[in-house]
Amino acid sequence: MKWPLIVFIVACTAVLLALAWFQAGGLRQHAMFAAATPEEAVRALMTQVQNHDYERAFHSLDLSSNTDLASFIRDLTGSDGSLRAYSSLQSVDVSPLHADQDQAIVRLRMVWSSAVGSLDDVRDVRVVRDGSTWRVVWPKPEFFAVPPQVVSVNYLRWEVIGRDISSRWGAQDVDSPKVRITSMNAITRPGRVVILGEVENEDTVPAYLNVSASLLEADGSSIGEESSFDLISHVLLPKQVSPYRIDFPGVRIDAVKNVRMDARALLVPASADPVIAVTNQQLSKDGLGRQVLKGELVNQSGRLVNIAQVLAAFYDDNGKVIWVSDGYVDQALSPLVPVPFAVDIPNDIASRLKSYRVIVNHYSHSTT
């Protein structure tokens, strides 16, 4: 009776280990090293990235890849407190573009989830045949090293003194800065009503502001109230103008008889640094065929900007704001290093726009 019991225990252990290997993605890991098609190779690679198994993913790459493990990980996970560093890979879409017997080009769309919404990263990757297996060729990303130098800065700065720091945020014993909504446009979009326009800080001091709107029915009853949230430049220096956009999902434009607007401002300390230049702006289509406004951001200050948000206002022939788009850059902005950006434009808006204006919101972990 002793040997049959031992054999039974060993067999049960083997079955349990096999089940654990299968549930932990063992088949997928095996498929990574035995991908029968280019698409399988890319999907298997991204599975390991989603599982944060970057070392295994790196070792599955083709030997012709000229990257190293540290660069590969940094390319996918970000650095310097960038938005990518706080994001996770939510989904992957793979579509073949070209293939022959020995190599293929596959379009890889990675959708990263973050606290400010989803981020798209579209790349065309090369996949090559290695015997009976396909492997991904991952090029080494370019990371610009800023050489040691002195950056001269000469910018305005406003401090607020005499504050009671023990009071709750927003409680102030001074008059609020004078701000004015200079334009408002109510439009209908699929499944929603959108209020958009521009607001100006007319004062001589900086203001932290937010714009909200209430939609009213014919009898004056409220349909709903929303705010611009992050579709605005909240901190405006004196005489600066910001676009804003307020979305009302599930509302039909024919139900709206009146719109009540409200701009609330607080006095805050602020500075004109960092200066972020917007260069090489152009209207084009991205890899997914969408209309976009793309360009580059150049941090002209001497300190790191961890997260940058691009806010673009689009105007028609009459100078009226017809759309406001935004997009976050998932790379940190090092001093003097160009970083690409792109924001979406609805097709019907792209056919009507005459001009546009881009401003940049910035967030840094340290202001020193």
**What is the DSSP code string of 198-257?**
EEEE-SSS-EEEEEEEEEE-TTS-EEEEEE-TTSB--EE-TT-EEEEEEEEET--GGG--
- pLDDT at position 164: 62
- pLDDT at position 197: 97
- pLDDT at position 155: 86
H-type alpha helices, 51-160: 54-59, 69-77
Q: 114: how many CB neighbours lie within 10 A of its CB? A: 17
Q: Report, as ranges of residue numbers, the positions in the chain whose pLDDT lies below 70.
A: 1-34, 163-173, 366-368
| Phi, psi (deg, nearest 5) at residue 55 | -65, -45
Instruction: Say if residues 332 and 148 touch (Cβ distance below 8 Å).
Output: no
The model's pLDDT over 265-301, given as tens digits with 9 standing for 90+, comes to 999 999 998 999 999 999 999 878 889 999 999 999 8
- pLDDT at position 150: 82
The model's pLDDT over 102-161, given as tens digits with 9 standing for 90+, comes to 999 999 999 999 988 899 999 999 999 998 899 999 998 888 877 888 878 788 899 888
For the chain, list the domains and their CATH numbers. 19-137 (3.10.450.50), 157-270 (2.60.40.3230), 273-363 (2.60.40.10)
Q: Distance (Å, rounded) from C-alpha 246 to C-alpha 179?
A: 18
Taking CA atoms, 231 is separated from 205, 210, 212, in Å, by 22, 10, 11
